A and B are shown apart, each in its own frame.
Chain A
Amino acid sequence: MLSVLRQVLWRRRISTLWWSLGVAGFAALLALAYPTVRDNSELDKTFAGLPPGVQAALGLDPGSPLTSPVGYMNSQYFANVLPVMLLVFGIGLAAWCISGDEAAGTLELLLSNPVSRIRVAAERASSLVVLLAVLTLVSSATMALLAPAVGLSKGLSLGQIVAATTATGLLALSFASLAFAVGAATGRRSIAISTASTVALVGFVIEGLAAQVKVLQPIREASPWHWLLGTDPLRNGLTWQAWVLPVTVSVVLFVIGTAVFARRDLS
């Protein structure tokens, strides 16, 4: 059962361990740095003086200053560090799933066995979900463990931390699914990685600028960044927008990529 999925998890066990340590390390670092920020109200004044666009790009909003738990976590972690880590991990793994394995010359050998291309695509995509979930869990657990000790839990429940982390994981899944689909459809790992990274970066910039630039506001409605940052799950919990949209986009991308992969010539 699920032997293609299990093989990926086994193959990735060491690198997943390192990624988990990295995520836990960053989460711990940010949590432990909070006490020094918490008591520094000068920082709030400095940031309040910045243009609203810059504040938005930093994950700040007027309702939650940097020194508050929500403001600190959003601006220092959920709007940048965590998404970037999960995106790098997710896009890299997703591009490997079909196109990386194909470029390495090892996919055909697997497909010489009685496994269909659709099954390989489905189990590999599942491995992406599982491993992203592992990192999400590691991040949530680290934050949950340290938050009470450093005063980050004031006004923040465990559920809110988990909601924000999950929403960030889903953002990474959306862009990783793009890398998966492009890789599956083209067989080109470099195109898969560059397409997903470019779209993620452009989306991030648009989300930051849209606070100021009216023209961009309709565009950002279609961006996973807006579904994450615009819904502020750290404050509001996991609203439907923060999970239905990224899940739908991921499924659609998977189906399109796999449909092309199932019919095309391998390279």
Chain B
Amino acid sequence: MQPSIATMELTKRFGKLTAVSGLSIEVGPGEVVGFLGPNGAGKTTTIRLLMGFIQPTSGVANVLGGSAAREGAIRRRVGYLPGDFRIDPAMTGNELFSWFGELRQNYNRARIGELVERLHLDPGRAFGTLSKGNRQKIGLVQAFQHDPDVLILDEPTSGLDPLIQREFLDLIREAADRGASVLFSSHVLPEVERAAHKLAIIREGKLVTVSPVRQLLDRARHRLELRFAAPINAELFKGVPGVVEAEVRGDTATIAVDGAVGPAMEAALRGPGLLRVRSAGDDLEDLFISLYDQAPEVN
């Protein structure tokens, strides 16, 4: 099946700076791709190339088989959320939704009402008087209100509280279930992990990897905090396969594990009564580090 979003050897230079270099990624119908990378890696530039706000230096950025820059009919089927979502401060959510509904010739009042309710948004208040999170909700509603076939979202969850983040992830899943393609950039691994089928990771404008989420996470660095019944021997995790860092302080050990965590757990069981295991969350930075370390085998 033809991908709904496709970049081929996409390159963008700003003067001497190469923001995106030879990037090729695809998002098929019904597929959710998380777009990850450190700040300045070229995520926003890629998204702006796809939307046609800037022209590629070379290569192709296609949406729904054509150029979003040239074809309004394609943009009508796209939901877009910029990384820094802003509108006229005096404008209310309702004003924006009806205006954009008119521009897209698709004003679905019922759908807007449903989104507003699910995201707990007050759509009658002026944008300038809203908190960061509520502003972002307006951005989400305008991106989803016309049930687009393609969603291109730049840092969609920034500023949202956890409850609304979950609602947003549901929205993405529902969109994918009805066949929409979703590309969204993020800094937060757990949310990407829950919503995305695949992860595309870029660094310095180049694609590091595109892989199924699970496969990446299995390989990613994992941090564990282990508490024991008594002070432990500093050598407990020495030489254990996969353990790349171990810090022991009294009865608590903090370890970093690359890949399978089994051997480390076996070592922990040999300690003086394991009381508690806390997974310190999969840090994106750690994922990047382990990926970059393993870069040759990833490609």
A and B: interacting chains: yes
Closest B-chain residue to A112, C-beta based? B80
Report B94-128 residues with CB < 8 Å from chain A CB: 99-100, 102-105
Stretch among B29-37, B69-77, B163-171 lining the A interface = B69-77
A109 & B53 in contact (Cβ 8 Å cutoff): no
A11 & B90 in contact (Cβ 8 Å cutoff): yes
B87 & A3 in contact (Cβ 8 Å cutoff): no
Tell which of A3, A4, A7, A108 touches B51, judged by Cβ atoms closer than 8 Å: A108
- Docked Cα-Cα span, A110 to B72, in Å, equals 12
- The smallest beta-carbon distance between B229 and chain A, in angstroms, is 56
Contacts of A109 in B (CB 8 A): 80, 82, 85-87, 142
> Most chain-B CB neighbours within 10 Å: which of A105, A108, A109, A266?
A109
Report B27-72 residues with CB < 8 Å from chain A CB: 48, 51-55, 72
Tell which of A106, A108, A263 touches B53, judged by Cβ atoms closer than 8 Å: A108
- Docked Cα-Cα span, A125 to B38, in Å, equals 40
- Docked Cα-Cα span, A111 to B87, in Å, equals 13
Whether A46 sits at the interface, judged by CB under 8 Å, is: no
Whether B78 sits at the interface, judged by CB under 8 Å, is: yes
Contact A108/B48 with A114-B76, A115-B103, A266-B54 known, Cβ cut-off 8 Å? yes
- Docked Cα-Cα span, A254 to B295, in Å, equals 51
Tell which of B48, B55, B73, B86 touches A114, judged by Cβ atoms closer than 8 Å: B73
B84 & A114 in contact (Cβ 8 Å cutoff): no
Contacts of B48 in A (CB 8 A): 108, 266
Task: Digitize A2-20: 1 where CB-to-B-CB distance is under 8 Å, 0 elsewhere.
Answer: 0110010001000000000
Count of B interface residues, CB-CB < 8 Å: 27
Contacts of B78 in A (CB 8 A): 112
Contacts of B85 in A (CB 8 A): 109
Closest B-chain residue to A111, C-beta based? B53
Contacts of A105 in B (CB 8 A): 82, 84, 86
A113 & B103 in contact (Cβ 8 Å cutoff): yes
Task: Digitize A67-107: 1 where CB-to-B-CB distance is under 8 Å, 0 elsewhere.
Answer: 00000000000000000000000000000000000001110
- The smallest beta-carbon distance between A264 and chain B, in angstroms, is 8
Tell which of A106, A108, A113 touches B100, judged by Cβ atoms closer than 8 Å: A113
Whether B230 sits at the interface, judged by CB under 8 Å, is: no
Interface size class of A (residues with CB under 8 A): 10 to 19
- Docked Cα-Cα span, A7 to B100, in Å, equals 11
Closest B-chain residue to A4, C-beta based? B103
Task: Digitize A110-122: 1 where CB-to-B-CB distance is under 8 Å, 0 elsewhere.
Answer: 1111111000000
B80 & A265 in contact (Cβ 8 Å cutoff): no
A7 & B99 in contact (Cβ 8 Å cutoff): yes
- Docked Cα-Cα span, A11 to B89, in Å, equals 10
Tell which of B72, B76, B86, B100 touches A104, judged by Cβ atoms closer than 8 Å: B86
- Docked Cα-Cα span, A111 to B85, in Å, equals 13
- The smallest beta-carbon distance between B274 and chain A, in angstroms, is 52
- Docked Cα-Cα span, A185 to B104, in Å, equals 26
Whether B91 sits at the interface, judged by CB under 8 Å, is: yes
Contacts of A104 in B (CB 8 A): 86
- Docked Cα-Cα span, A109 to B87, in Å, equals 8
- Docked Cα-Cα span, A22 to B155, in Å, equals 44
Whether B88 sits at the interface, judged by CB under 8 Å, is: yes
Contacts of B55 in A (CB 8 A): 263, 265
- Docked Cα-Cα span, A113 to B86, in Å, equals 15
- Docked Cα-Cα span, A188 to B53, in Å, equals 16
Q: A109-B85, A113-B104, A114-B105 are in contact. List 17 more A-B contacts (CB 8 A).
A: A3-B102, A4-B103, A11-B90, A11-B91, A104-B86, A108-B82, A109-B80, A109-B82, A109-B86, A109-B142, A112-B82, A113-B75, A114-B73, A114-B104, A116-B72, A265-B54, A265-B55
14 residue pairs A–B, Cβ–Cβ below 8 Å: A3-B99, A3-B102, A3-B103, A106-B88, A108-B53, A111-B53, A112-B75, A112-B78, A112-B82, A113-B103, A114-B72, A114-B103, A114-B104, A263-B55
Residues of A within 8 A of B (CB): 3-4, 7, 11, 104-106, 108-116, 263, 265-266
> Which 3 pairs from chain A and chain B are nearest by CB?
A114-B72, A112-B80, A265-B54
